[in-house]
Amino acid sequence: MSFDQSTPPQPNPAGQVVNVATPTVKPIVTYVLLGLTVFVFILQSALKLVTGYDLLFIYGGKINEAILAGELWRLLTPALLHSSILHIAFNMYALFILGRRLESIHGHWRFLMLYLLSGFGGNVLSFVLSSYPSLGSSTAIFGLLAAEGVFIFQNRRLFGQRSQAMLSNVLVILFINLLIGFSPGTNIDNFGHLGGLLAGFMFASLGGPKWVVEGVAPFVSINDSRKKNEVIFAFLVVLAGFIVMAAIPFFA
């Protein structure tokens, strides 16, 4: 993990000005996810135009009957599919904003874990609690929102008085989006959103960055105290929990 030495100097409790370096990485995974999702949407639209059928949705969307028939990839692939330009534009804008910020502090692999778990968790909860077909990366986006909130809360001492306003902003965004989802006639997969939210919250709580201040003034850095094995453990625990949840309809 690299460090951003361009961070403006900050005063320490004693009133001295110190140079603070915060951990950052370039959001490569975010850009790859953006490019891949847009490419899939272009392919999806082209096939629909040529054949008259939404073939990628037919073979990759969240369709409960197909999942029960053994097509388990449908618990993840819907995160790459979208129903319209407006649908993908909204989700990709959210990924662009949230992804760059979260990947810069989570690192490449942990951010990818977060995104995949959130997408998987959202589709699993939708599979268990909703019989309607669905698609879209908003399952993963809600997981990113949850992780943003958890990160701010777990590191609130470093953010100081700003933490309350930052948390309030995340909660307002979540509330508005959930409210829209539960409004009559919106045709939104609310269980998918809630599942992504839950998966992102669980993973971030167990394996998200926990910053600590290290060094001696005027050279102070902020480092992540979370160990690699903690991150892997968090990923496996959350994954196992949703796999167990996904198995429920097979035995119902």
Q: Which residues participate in catalysis according to the annotation?
A: 138, 193
* DSSP-assigned letters across all residues of 229-247: HHHHHHHHHHHHHHHHHHH
Contacting residues for 207 by C-beta, under 8 A, at least 6 apart? 110, 113, 226, 230, 231, 232, 233, 234, 235
Structure tokens at 134: 């669905």
Do residues 206 and 233 touch, judged by C-beta distance below 8 A? yes
The length of the chain, given as a count of residues: 252
CA separation for the pair 72, 192 (Å, rounded): 16
Work out the end-to-end distance of the chain between its first and last CA atoms, rounded to an integer number of angstroms: 46
CA separation for the pair 249, 235 (Å, rounded): 23
Whole-Å CA distances, 227 to 153, 207, 224, 230, 239: 19, 8, 8, 5, 19
